[in-house]
Structure 1
């Protein structure tokens, strides 16, 4: 009998996305084919305490289903590399760049990838400015205020006045010392999954998030069940190809490996595409938009897990 591969499913952690991570981990643990893998849950508590001292003799590969800081930002990836343990997903640099919304946009702009107009500033710059409104004078209402390092729409606000902006900036500073302010765009929200190695990644069919309300906030993503997803998205063929091409360009811009999900804005009036962000460990339940996009592209959820684990082992062997 062939020995099963020991897969440590790493979840939880100190991030505000702790609960989302647990949902993803539960799905991965349930779906890993039992004939090939021995799934080992490793749940980090909210204070950052690990249940075990992870070692190479305990697991063969780690699936770090961690979202947000202390998990999706390169910290855990670096720890696993020092231990010599193969792991699913992007490496240290790609994870760090994709987690930081300012660094990510710099990488995109360097590669000529279109992003929405935006500004960013530190807590010190904001609080010492004689006229804080001057920091966002290049943008029009509405604006979106975001902490530079956070995911799942946590700490993000849509604002339409200076009073709302001040409140939103202080909220965002509760999560990070750097805040990004983006120009609001009347647009459809699209996603595209990427799967593969450095050299020959593949892009899924695009999907569309059918947003309830003004924007896709945390409650829309994880609480409000009325939010729906259309996969494949109903788009002109040209737009489908543009989305897939930009998703692959973004993946290469950060040095991606294993997987990512690219999020887009498709402006209603002009038909322009803007790359909103790239996620190196998107929500990972079988019902998540990433898994759904690959299912619609012919890769079922258990097969998706297999491919990601194989990619982790290939990189580890190199």
Structure 2
């Protein structure tokens, strides 16, 4: 009998996408063949403590039910299982639970957003010499920074929307911004995922409010010219020889665009895969997705998002996600299914890539 592979699955974290991470972890753990794998759950609380083994498993079971509720997992709920509640930032309370000395063959980091997907967790794993799937420290940090990613994409020949950056402390001249970009304007925290804090301003007051919201979440905000069109996405799958999977179209049902609610609510959007678009556009999006994937140094899996403007017939690159959601509603598994990989096979392939 072949030796079991020891997998550590990391989830949770301090970002606003904590709840999505719990859903991804639950879906992946249910898909794993326990005859092939030993699984070590590692939960990271909303205050940054690591709960390992049975503590991590208990954390997931305790808090998964709150992940679907409007207010999600509260700080008090997140910290409930900690033994040393009053030593939250001491070294001795950085990790709790058994299993911290268990050999690990591969880590599956399933966190999204700040601290989890922006290179910081990847840097910790690198310093511990632990192999993991998904992109490394530098690629993760670059991809999380929307402005830097767009600069690289533009230099690689991808079409991107005109934009401006504003920072906390800047004197905001909303009228000047409107003169440069024209309304409507898309406002995004520069380093956040899942459309958290994103808004579309149709007038000067909405622009001011949107900037304030974005800068409350991040020290920088990216303001973009609004591009009308069809929302499309392409997953890149592979390590040494990555390939573009079929392009999917996203049709939001609960919002006017693919915001947080459309992404994660049940029946929040329809995903059409393969997208019913001209072959030339599909091929261009696949080519552009591979280009930015390679330019950033991504690996294993990422998902690039585009808007296809039918007036100028150009797909505009928006961003790339280095740890796409792996929930039942997530796009990457649906795209993989269209390419002939069911969810279980998809996860198996990811693990195989990580073990290369």
TM over 0.5: yes
Measure, in 1, the Cα distance between the counterparts of 2:153 and 2:282: 19
Q: Quote how far apart the aligned CAs of 1:138 are.
A: 1.5
Q: Quote how far apart the aligned CAs of 1:3 are.
A: 2.1
Tell me which residue corresponds to 2:301: 259
Cα-to-partner distance string for 1:252-305 (whole Å, 9 max, x where unaligned): 121111110011101132221011110000111244211111111122222221
Normalising by structure 1, we get a TM-score of 0.93
Higher RCO (CA < 8 A, seq sep 6+): 1
Tell me which residue corresponds to 1:201: 242
Q: Quote how far apart the aligned CAs of 1:135 are.
A: 3.8
Task: For 1:48-127, list aligned pairs within 5 A.
Answer: 48-52=48-52, 53=95, 57-125=102-170
Q: Quote how far apart the aligned CAs of 1:224 are.
A: 5.2
Number of residue pairs aligned between Structure 1 and Structure 2: 310
Contact 1:55 1:83 in 2 (8 A): no
Sort the Cα spacing of 1:193 and 1:56 in 2 relative to 1 into closer, same or farther, 3 A: farther
Tell me which residue corresponds to 2:76: none
Unpaired segments of 5 or more residues in structure 1?
none
Contact 1:12 1:45 in 2 (8 A): yes
Measure, in 1, the Cα distance between the counterparts of 2:158 and 2:312: 17
Contact 1:88 1:312 in 2 (8 A): yes
**Secondary structure in 2 matching 1:51:** strand
Contact 2:21 2:325 in 1 (8 A): yes
Tell me which residue corresponds to 1:6: 6
Measure, in 2, the Cα distance between the counterparts of 1:235 and 1:175: 36
Question: Structure 1 residue runs of 4+, over 4 Å off?
Answer: 53-56
Larger radius of gyration: 2
Tell me which residue corresponds to 2:271: 229
Measure, in 2, the Cα distance between the counterparts of 1:285 and 1:132: 38
Measure, in 2, the Cα distance between the counterparts of 1:68 and 1:46: 13
Normalising by structure 2, we get a TM-score of 0.84
Q: Quote how far apart the aligned CAs of 1:183 are.
A: 1.0
